[in-house]
Amino acid sequence: MSEIILAAEPTIRLAAFLGVLAVMMIWELAAPRRRRDIPRVIRWTNNFALVVVDTIILRLSFPILAVGLAMLAEERDWGLFNVIDVPGWVAFTGSILLLDLAIYLQHVMFHAVPGLWRLHRMHHADLDFDATTGLRFHPVEILASMAIKLAVVGALGAPAVSVLLFEVILNATSIFNHSNIGLPAGVDRALRLFLVTPDMHRVHHSVDPRETNSNYGFSVPWWDRLLGTYVAQPAKGHEGMEIGIEQFRTRRDLWLDRMLIQPLRGPASGHALDLGNEQK
Ligand SMILES: [Zn+2]
Ligand SMILES: [Zn+2]
C-alpha cells in the first residue's frame, strides 16, 4: 500500500495543492471575510513568483528531501521508530504528531530569535491575508525549515508515508487557514477542536505584537492550547484588525525583489522577545 502511495507522490502533492488552492480562492471571491486593501494583481503575482523561486532554490540546495530521507532511513534502520518495536499505526500517527509539534516549536523559535525573525517576518509583512499568504515564505526560511525537518525525520525514523501525508496536510491546512473566508461561528468553534481555522490564524497576522506572537500552530490547535500561546480572537475584531507588521507597509514592499531583501533591512523589531519592551 505504501509503495503505491509513494509512487504517486508528485501527483498527490500537486492535486492537493492545486485542489485546495482553487477551492479557497473561489470561496474568497464568492464570500470574502475582510475587504481587501491591496489590488490582487500585485500580491498574487509576487506571492506566486516567490513560490517558483522557493521551489527552484529548495530543489537545487538539497540532494535529498524529507520523504527521500525517510525511505533511506527505513532501508538502513536509522531513527527511533526503525529501531524500537512498535505497531505500525503508532509509528505512523506518532510521526505525524511529532513532526507537527516540531513545526510549531520551530515557528515559536522563528518569532523569538531576532535573526530568525528577520527571515520569518516576511511572511507577516503581507498587507492582506488570503490563501496566497500561506505560500509566502522567504527562501532562506524554506531552507532552514527543510534542514530542521530532515533532522526530525532522521531522528524519529518516521515512515515515508507519514512524512508525505504530513507535508501534504501542512500545505493544505496552510492554504486553508490563511484564506480570506469566514465560517459560521458554530462551525469555527467545532473545527477549532482539531484544526486551525482562518479566524484562528488571522490573529497571528495582526499588527499588534501580542497577537502576532500567538497562535503558532499550522495544522492542529492543540500545541497552542497546551503550551499557552493561544489567543481566541483579535482585540479589534476580524474586520477592524490591521494585518501585517509595523515595518514594510508600502505597496512596493510587496514586490518580489523587496521581499527577498527584507531580512537585511531595518531593525528586527516586533519579535517575541521584544514584547516586554512594547508593553512598558
Ligand atoms: Zn509567524
Ligand atoms: Zn501565517
- Answer yes or no: is pLDDT of 56 > 80: yes
Tell me: the pLDDT tens digits for 79-108?
Answer: 999 999 999 999 999 999 999 999 999 999
Q: Has residue 253 got a pLDDT over 80? A: yes
Q: What confidence tier does 276 reach under pLDDT thresholds 50, 70, 90?
A: low
Domain that holds residue 104: 2-33+54-275
Of 47 and 3, the one with more pLDDT: 47
The number of the ligand nearest the C-alpha atom of 103 reads: 1
217 C-alpha to ligand 2 centroid (Å):
9
Does any domain span residue 119?
A: yes
The rounded Å distance from CA 107 to ligand 2 centre is: 10
Distance 216 CA to ligand 1 centre (A): 6
Question: How many angstroms separate the CA atoms of 51 and 137, rounded?
Answer: 8
Mean pLDDT to the nearest integer, 64-90: 95
Rounded to the nearest angstrom, the distance between the alpha carbon of 206 and the centre of ligand 1 is 10
Q: What is the pTM of this model?
A: 0.94
Q: Is residue 132 part of a domain?
A: yes
Low-confidence winner among 57-66, 134-143, 149-158, 264-273 (lowest mean pLDDT): 264-273
Query: Is residue 43 in some structural domain?
Result: no
Q: What is the DSSP string of 233-254?
A: S-TTHHHHSPBS-SS--SGGGG
- Residue 106 Cα to ligand 2 midpoint, Å, equals 13
Q: How confident is the model at residue 41 (pLDDT cuts 50, 70, 90)?
A: very high
Does residue 40 lie within any of the structural domains?
no
Question: Rounded mean pLDDT of the chain?
Answer: 95
- Asked whether residue 278 carries a pLDDT value surpassing 90, the answer given is no
In a domain? residue 280: no
pLDDT at 279 over 90: no
Residue 280 has pLDDT above 50, yes or no: no
Look at residue 45 and tell me if it is in a domain: no
Ligand 2 centroid–CA 174 distance in Å is 7
Contacts for 35 with CB less than 8 Å, ≥ 6 apart: 239
Number of separate domains in the chain = 1
Closest ligand, as measured to the CA of 121: 1
Q: Indicate whether 10 belongs to any domain.
A: yes
Q: If you search the block for the grid coordinates 508600502, which residue do you land on?
A: 250
Whole-number Å distance between alpha carbons of 50 and 249: 18
Confidence class for position 275, pLDDT limits 50, 70, 90: low
Task: Report how far ligand 2's centroid is from the alpha carbon of 120 (Å).
Answer: 10
Give the ligand whose atoms come closest to the C-alpha of residue 179.
Answer: 2
> In this structure, are residues 138 and 259 in contact, taking their beta carbons and an 8 Å threshold?
yes
Q: What is the pLDDT of residues 146-204, one digit of tens each?
A: 999 999 999 999 999 999 999 999 999 999 999 999 999 999 999 999 999 999 999 99
Q: What's the average model confidence in pLDDT over 3-26?
A: 94
Q: Residue 277's pLDDT is what? A: 52
- Ligand with smallest separation from the Cα of 134: 2
Q: What percent of the chain has pLDDT over 90?
A: 92
What distance in angstroms lies between residue 196's CA and the mean position of ligand 2's atoms? Answer: 11
Q: Amino acid identity of 50?
A: L
> What mean pLDDT do residues 231-254 have?
96
